[in-house]
């Protein structure tokens, strides 16, 4: 009895060990899944090529030029300055009214079309006739195809407009599609209604409005996140660039506040599209790959979040 009791204890111990190991296995699997999910965020960014592979199978640069409020020669010159400085991602929208200037600057740049990645967007007032809106964007840009087409905001008819974008992907006039200003609730409702998952979600993201719950939610779905107003947006840049925490980190690295904010985004797996009409700023905004923020510095910037939106959508 005594021996059997001891055997039972030993057997029980072995069972415990086996259970322990198998649950360790399960834990490892979960760990891998988490790693896979994280691989859609900063881990997915290739800091050598400065690109990210989208779920559409196309590669997109992780930094670019935003063109909101740039028009005519100011817009052409900004795009030209960016392309001359190696920027290969340009963000525009029907609503910005500058697709024509952007197309012209690209065609005149001497940079091969296939090296440039252009994002444009359909505005809600175009959702009732999305085929015509896509055709208009193609004609305005006049660069053969659109690399990425987004719905600019949620609105009446957005699902149908997205279906038209899916058709444009099948036809080859648009390569990748996505959404802008879609948050968790909107995505929960929208995603089950579409066939091609969005490759990109572009939302307001800056140190004073960080979306720390939204970003991982999107990235875990294999969707790349891009931030608009990375420098706070016009009218807010002075406060953000002058923030004491950001300024202190910037001087520790011998970089500008703008570069620190853009780098903070990249290290969070967020693609940046700062807007600028100043060639010196455009140049500065490309110099993001010769320094790295420490975990502590990332945390200090994360601590600046105050849920302060700088625009209504």
Ligand X SMILES: NC(=O)c1ccc[n+]([C@@H]2O[C@H](COP(=O)([O-])OP(=O)(O)OC[C@H]3O[C@@H](n4cnc5c(N)ncnc54)[C@H](OP(=O)(O)O)[C@@H]3O)[C@@H](O)[C@H]2O)c1
**Contact residues for ligand X, defined by CB under 6 A:** 66-68, 91, 152, 180-181, 202, 228-234, 237, 241, 256, 258, 273-278, 281, 284-285, 313
Start-end of H helices in the chain: 2-38, 72-84, 99-107, 130-141, 158-171, 184-190, 214-219, 237-241, 244-253, 257-267, 279-284, 295-302
CB of 52 to ligand X, least distance (A): 17
CA dihedral 71, 77, 81, 87 (to 10 degrees): 40
CB of 260 to ligand X, least distance (A): 11
CB of 208 to ligand X, least distance (A): 11
CB of 157 to ligand X, least distance (A): 18
Give the span between the Cα atoms of 124 and 159, in whole angstroms: 11
> Which of the following is catalytic: 63, 96, 162, 209?
96
Could you tell me which residues are beta bridge partners of residue 174?
146
Pairing of strands 51-53, 45-46: antiparallel
Give the span between the Cα atoms of 273 and 90, in whole angstroms: 8
Which residue, among 62, 64, 30, has the nearest Cα to 49 in the 3D structure?
62
CB nearer to ligand X: pick between 153 and 175: 153
CB nearer to ligand X: pick between 40 and 67: 67
CB nearer to ligand X: pick between 45 and 228: 228
Contact 194, 188 (CB under 8 A): no
CB nearer to ligand X: pick between 191 and 241: 241
Residue nearest to ligand X (CB): 275
Q: Is 96 one of the catalytic residues?
A: yes
Give the span between the Cα atoms of 239 and 248, in whole angstroms: 14
Task: Give the residue numbers marked as catalytic.
Answer: 96
């Amino acid at each position: 009895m005594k021996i059997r009791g001891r055997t039972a204890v030993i057997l029980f111990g072995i069972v415990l060990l086996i259970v322990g190991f198998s649950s360790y296995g399960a834990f490892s699997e979960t760990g891998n899944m988490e790693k896979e999910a994280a691989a859609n965020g900063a881990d997915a960014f290739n800091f050598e090529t400065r690109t990210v592979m989208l779920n559409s199978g196309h590669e997109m640069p992780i930094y670019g030029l935003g063109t909101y409020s740039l028009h005519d020669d100011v817009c052409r010159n900004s795009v030209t300055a960016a392309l001359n400085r190696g920027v290969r991602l340009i963000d525009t929208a029907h609503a910005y009214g500058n697709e024509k200037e952007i197309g012209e600057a690209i065609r005149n740049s001497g940079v091969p079309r296939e090296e440039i990645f252009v994002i444009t967007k359909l505005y809600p007032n175009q959702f009732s006739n999305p085929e015509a809106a896509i055709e208009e964007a193609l004609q305005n840009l006049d660069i053969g195809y659109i690399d990425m087409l987004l719905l600019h905001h949620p609105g009446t008819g957005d699902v149908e407009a997205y279906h038209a974008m899916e058709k444009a992907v099948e036809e080859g006039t648009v390569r990748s599609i996505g959404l802008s200003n879609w948050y968790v609730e909107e995505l929960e409702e929208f995603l089950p209604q579409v066939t091609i998952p969005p490759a990109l979600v572009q939302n307001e993201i800056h140190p004073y409005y960080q979306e720390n719950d939204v970003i991982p939610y999107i990235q875990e779905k294999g969707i790349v996140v891009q931030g608009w107003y990375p420098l706070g947006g016009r009218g807010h840049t002075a406060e953000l660039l002058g923030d004491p925490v950001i300024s202190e980190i910037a001087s520790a690295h011998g970089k500008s506040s703008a570069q620190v904010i853009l780098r903070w985004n990249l290290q969070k797996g967020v693609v940046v599209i700062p807007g600028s009409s100043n060639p010196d700023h455009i140049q500065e905004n490309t110099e993001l790959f010769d320094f790295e923020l420490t975990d502590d510095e990332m945390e200090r910037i994360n601590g600046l979040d105050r849920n302060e939106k700088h625009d209504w959508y």
